[in-house]
Amino acid sequence: MESTASTQSPGLGGLWLPLITPFRHGELDERSLRRLVVHYAAEPIDGFILGATTGEGMALDEAECERVVAITNQALAGSGRRIPVYFGLSGSDTRKSVKALERMAAWGVDGYLIACPYYTRPSQRGLFAHFSALADATDRPILIYNIPYRTGVNLGNETMLQLAERRNIVGVKDCSADATQSFDLLRHKPRDFAVLTGEDPLFYTALTQGAEGGITASAHVQTAAFADVRNRLLAGDQAGALSAWQRLADLPRLLFAEPSPGPIKHWLWRAGLIDSPEMRLPMVPVSDDLALRIERAMAAQDGRR
């Protein structure tokens, strides 16, 4: 198989981590957050997404959001590695989202992951106008987050490709849950518009079809193994990539067996990377049954080392 490098966007790509937000006793756990950032800065990731779905962004107040960014940037500076830091933004009022971008301009983020408006289900014209207004409100790059099964609205490819003409709309986190739509987007997108899959179980498949990478919550665990799948494909090693993915394929199923990021937080807590698996209501920790399954998987992984 030829390397897929020729199809890759010259800009955004690779393995991005939608970082969890650790809590302890109801508060932001700053010590655990610093530990996480330093840990993953030493792993082969290409960027962080903060405050998005996996980061429980909708349960953070504005001061906490700003603090998460500040701690992440401080920890990255101390680690000696500079990688892009994007922040997740969602909302159904375009005016409020524009004001949020204006407030966040001084936070030190490199770009934004912005979800389609949820619940209101605007038309395609409305979606185009919404994202155009947000692109006008910032000079930083925007990744669109298309996830219809959460928001209730699907940003179609025709609209997506129109938005891709905007200078600072640089890509999409694709969770359309429509294989045909995803494939057609990859076929027709501009070269400098990145498609990053957000469907962890489809990471390998999306890469083989030309996606530039993934925003992959499961990569909190076995980070290097996820990066290895992509690197092998880029090197033209289809068989090696498939073999590597077959060893990983059960992990996303385990980590999404209950609502995310509960399973991921439990794994990270048991691994000593965070001090508590605490979540904020309405999200709750994993069940006893899943906790046992996770701990068995951790023991099996340790046994293979």
Instruction: Indicate which residues carry an active-site annotation.
Output: 145, 173
Residue 53 marked as a ligand binder: no
Structure tokens at 211: 């996606």
User: DSSP for 93-112?
Assistant: -HHHHHHHHHHHTTS--SEE
Q: How many CA atoms lie within 13 A of 258 on its CB side?
A: 17
Element (H, E) at 27: strand 27-28
What whole-number distance in Å separates Cα of residue 135 and Cα of residue 166?
8
**3-state class percentages of the chain: helix first, strand second, coil last, to nearest 5:** 50, 15, 35
Nearest of 5, 87, 18 to residue 46 by alpha carbon: 18
| Cα dihedral 223, 224, 229, 230 sign | positive
Residue 54 annotated as part of some ligand binding site: yes
Binding residues for pyruvate: 54, 215
Annotated binding site: 54, 215
